[in-house]
Structure 1
């Protein structure tokens, strides 16, 4: 396959590239600027947005276009930080929409990153792809605008991949979430009853590929395991896998004082199920938290 990736230098993007290069696919990474010391491979090319403005035909006849670009939410939500988070998403989607409109032979599918934050937070509700979005805080507002902007990508099959917490050793939030337990001071955060929807990086990569290869999948797709856990269950699983104590709870007020509004991500959550993926026959390699964490040990 010929696949273009925007945001290919990030955690998920790098895992995708490694997987697809091993399969012999031709990968094009779209970037603002080509980084120094780039990996060289006969099936891997880089192209900048400026180059695409002059030569959009470089992306004719793609089997898939994957957009993972967007500034991380894991930063202090200052006024400038929030602006950077929002603009990084909307600007890239706008550029992709313009690019796709100019292509004569459009991609067979566009995989657009989104997030489970679009459902809002709840201790009681369970969310599936058919659930209503609910803007109740900064993360849900960002994702709602992100998905609305993606609707401007026309005349292609569009998949909005609503990503949960991706667990892996080479990036994302998990290495920092695991660190207190390795140091022997891990425990629940806040009440510990808040839900955490998650997915192993292996299944994240497999699900993106599954959505590309299955022409019947479009619209929202929840990238989350069928077995979400509470924060308390997650912490106990980490402690058990690493044979560390589980006893040092982090009070809500202390976390809020350390990271400010960002604490929303850890103190509130949602129970999200991957109904569409399961309905189409996707099988998770790591459906349960214990086997997932054991693999990442």
Structure 2
């Protein structure tokens, strides 16, 4: 099979590339620039967006397109930062849609990155793919516009909108930052500790992307979260247990807000999200609960 991964040099994209190369597939990685540490592999090729726009024939015959590209929310939300976050998502959707449209033989499926932020935040509600979008803050606004743009841009193709929670991996993403206070001996709950954290192990989100590609019945929103979300307090205590570090030093919400501004909303608020569609379609999580997931990451 031949797959295009837009944003393939990012955190999830690198893992997905490795997974598909190991399975014998041909991979085209697309990004703003060619990574300096690119792999030398006979099944792997790299293109910038501009390169591929000028030479779309290189992508002919692709069976699926996965678009993981877009600026991270993990930056201070100044006016300029918010604009860059929104524009990067819309621009990459437009570029991926144009690439698909330029092909004589279009991919059978497009996997478009999204996020669980679309449900808004709640301490008591539980959300699945049937839950409505709720625009209550900047992240939910971004994702609502992001998905709407994807619906309008990708035509006549099976579209999966992968609503991702917090992806746990050692090399990048949120987990190294979340673990750092424990490594320094000052780990503890953030704010009230009651806010929900919907998480997924890196290897499971890669397997879920592959599952969505391989199963024609899967389309529309798909929650990429483990079936057992936890509260911030439970998450911190489990880090302390697995890594044998103390869980005692709470971080008041007011201090976090002072340090990072509106970005603190991501850590101080959350939502309990369940992967109902993935489970109902037969996907099996390798790490459905948190402790084995953290133990695996510790063992790496």
Q: Cα offset for 1:164?
A: 0.2
Per the alignment, residue 11 of structure 1 pairs with 11
Q: How does 1:97-246 map to 2 (within 5 A)?
A: 97-151=97-151, 152-246=153-247
Question: Structure 2 CA distance, aligned partners of 1:242 and 1:37?
Answer: 31
Q: Deviations over 1:108-147 (max 9, x none)?
A: 1100000000000001110000100000100000001110
Q: What pairs with 1:63-78 in structure 2 (closer than 5 Å)?
A: 63-78=63-78
Output the CA distance in 2 between the equivalents of 1:220 and 1:250: 34
d(CA) in 1 for partners of 2:141, 2:119: 10
Deviation at 1:221, TM superposition (A): 0.1
Distance across 1 between alignment mates of 2:186 and 2:54: 54
Greater shift, 46-55 or 222-231, is seen at 46-55
Counterpart of 1:279? 280
- Give the alignment's TM-score, normalised by structure 1: 0.98
The 1:206/1:37 distance shift into structure 2, 3 A limit, reads closer
Q: How does 1:36-115 map to 2 (within 5 A)?
A: 36-115=36-115
Per-residue CA shift, 1:169-222, capped at 9, x if unaligned? 011000110011121110000000000000000101100000000010000000
CA deviations over 1:32-81 (Å, ceiling 9, x no partner): 22233421110000112222222222222211100000111111111111
| Counterpart Cα distance in 2 of 1:245 and 1:48 | 45
1:86-122 Cα deviation digits (max 9, x unpaired): 1111001011112222222100110000000000000
Q: Partner of 1:290 in structure 2?
A: 291
Residues 211, 191 of structure 1: alpha-carbon distance in 2 compared, 3 angstrom cutoff:
same
Preserved contact between residue 9 and residue 35 of structure 2 (Cα < 8 Å)? no
Offset of 1:30 from its aligned partner?
A: 1.0
What value does the CA root-mean-square deviation take over the aligned residues? 0.9
Q: Structure 1: which 5+ runs fail to align?
A: none
Q: Distance in 2 between matches of 1:54 and 1:71?
A: 24
Cα distance in 2 for partners of 1:44, 1:98 equals 22
Q: Structure 2 unaligned runs (5+)?
A: none
Moved more, 17-26 or 45-54: 45-54
- Secondary structure of 1:296 counterpart: helix
**In structure 1, distance between residues paired with 2:127 and 2:163:** 11
Q: Distance in 2 between matches of 1:74 and 1:199?
A: 18
TM-score by length of 2: 0.97
- Whole-Å Cα distance in 2 between the matches of residues 269 and 168 of structure 1? 20
Separation in 1, partners of 2:75, 2:32: 21
Do the aligned partners of 2:13 and 2:68 also contact (CA within 8 Å) in 1?
A: yes
How far apart are the structure 2 equivalents of 1:155 and 1:196? Answer: 35
Check whether the contact 2:182–2:240 (CA below 8 A) recurs between aligned residues.
Answer: yes
SS at match of 2:47: strand
Determine the C-alpha separation between the residues in 2 that align with 1:283 and 1:50: 38
Higher mean C-alpha deviation, range 260-269 or range 89-98: 89-98
